[in-house]
């Protein structure tokens, strides 16, 4: 399985709403006791190992968000996973904070990282984690690059934990419908 968390590389972006994909990737690597290492040929950091008898690779692109498709395309070319064995995880302003939605395919919406992925790789299974919307006076770019406050951080950590639980079960069953029912939350 190839799991890709979208985000921006670097300390300045840690803890921002836009790095929720990285946070979930970190939680999964921690859960599976895997360590991220530099994978320059993939333009990513990668953690890999066997989980419940299945080869798992978790990527965090080092291309910055708007070029995420470059890293995903490199990984797809190198590892050749089946489409159902790919999962792209990213933040979504159109979902309430902490809500999660899993889809086999769909629109990238306003998310430039996912637009990059779909333009270079086509439609892939994706899991969106809600970060809520900015206040009316705040522009979108400022909002997604803002560090989450204490309460929001706790809600997003809970979402990452739910995702890790669901991915762990999915690896055992390979039942996408059950995975979808479990992870698709109406709210946080």
Active site residue 18: yes
For tokens 């419908």, what's the residue? Answer: 177
- What does the chain come to in residues? 188
Pick the catalytic residue from 2, 6, 18, 131. Answer: 18
Contact 72, 21 (CB under 8 A): no
Contact 166, 179 (CB under 8 A): yes
Contact 91, 129 (CB under 8 A): yes
C-alpha–C-alpha distance, residues 126 and 16, integer Å: 20
For tokens 């690059």, what's the residue? Answer: 145
Would you please indicate which residues are annotated as catalytic (active-site) residues? Answer: 18
């Amino acid at each position: 399985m190839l799991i890709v968390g979208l985000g921006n590389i670097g300390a300045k972006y840690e803890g921002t709403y836009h790095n929720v994909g990285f946070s979930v990737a970190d939680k999964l690597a921690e859960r599976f006791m895997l360590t991220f290492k530099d994978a320059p040929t993939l333009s990513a950091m990668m953690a890999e190992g066997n989980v419940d008898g299945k080869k798992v690779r978790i990527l965090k692109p080092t291309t910055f968000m708007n070029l995420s498709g470059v890293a995903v395309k490199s990984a797809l070319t190198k590892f050749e996973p089946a489409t159902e064995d790919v999962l792209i995880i990213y933040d979504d302003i159109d979902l309430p904070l902490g809500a999660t939605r899993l889809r086999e395919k769909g629109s990238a919406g306003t998310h430039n990282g996912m637009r990059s992925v779909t333009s270079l790789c086509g439609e892939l299974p994706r899991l969106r984690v809600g970060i809520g919307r900015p206040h009316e006076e705040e522009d979108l770019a400022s909002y997604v690059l803002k560090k989450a406050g204490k309460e929001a951080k706790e809600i997003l950590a809970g979402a990452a934990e739910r995702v890790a639980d669901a991915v762990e079960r999915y690896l055992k069953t390979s039942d996408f419908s059950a995975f979808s029912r479990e992870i698709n939350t109406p709210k946080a």
